[in-house]
Structure 1
Amino acid sequence: MASEKVTVTIPAEVLGPARESAGGNLSAYVARALRAQLVHEAMDTLAEDMEANPGFRLAHDEWLADMQAEQTAIGDDRSGGPAA
């Protein structure tokens, strides 16, 4: 997976605990957090679409399973388990 170097500004009260939790790899920690946020937003969008159109769920069960697998992969990354 290709990576890009970016500069971000993070409040000190967030950065300190994040560095401690990162176990020495802040980049991987931030990447997991961003990936988790993207999955969360995608699942929120799906929930809104399903509420607006009850038939929508049947057409997107595979996509939902993929998002759940992605959440599992995020958890595996955090615990040092196999990555997806």
Structure 2
Amino acid sequence: MASEKITVTVPAEVLGPVRESAGGNLSAYVTRALRAQLVHEAMDSLAEDLEANPAFRLAHDEWLADMQAEQTAISEDHTEGNAE
């Protein structure tokens, strides 16, 4: 997967604990957080669609399973990152 270098501004009171939790790999930590946010937003969107149209659920069960698998992968990445 190709990567891009970016610059972000983060409040110091957030960055300190994040650096500690990242275990020396801030890029991996931020990548996991961004992936988790994307999954969260996608699942929120799906929930809104399901609320608006209950029949929508049957057409998107596979997509939901993929999002849940992605969440599991994010959690496993986080666990493995802390073990290193």
Matches within 5 A, 1:1-84: 1-80=1-80
Give TM-score scaled by structure 2 length: 0.95
| CA RMSD across the alignment | 0.9
Q: Deviations over 1:9-53 (max 9, x none)?
A: 000010000000000000000000000000000000000000000
Larger relative contact order, structure 1 or 2 (CA cutoff 8 Å, min sep 6): 2
Unpaired segments ≥5 residues, structure 2: none
Unpaired segments ≥5 residues, structure 1: none
1: CA distance, partners of 2:49 / 2:69 = 20
> How far is 1:7 from its partner?
0.2
2: CA distance, partners of 1:44 / 1:25 = 29
Q: Deviations over 1:41-82 (max 9, x none)?
A: 00000000000000000000000000000000000100118x
2: CA distance, partners of 1:17 / 1:79 = 17
Give TM-score scaled by structure 1 length: 0.95
Structure with greater helix share of residues: 2
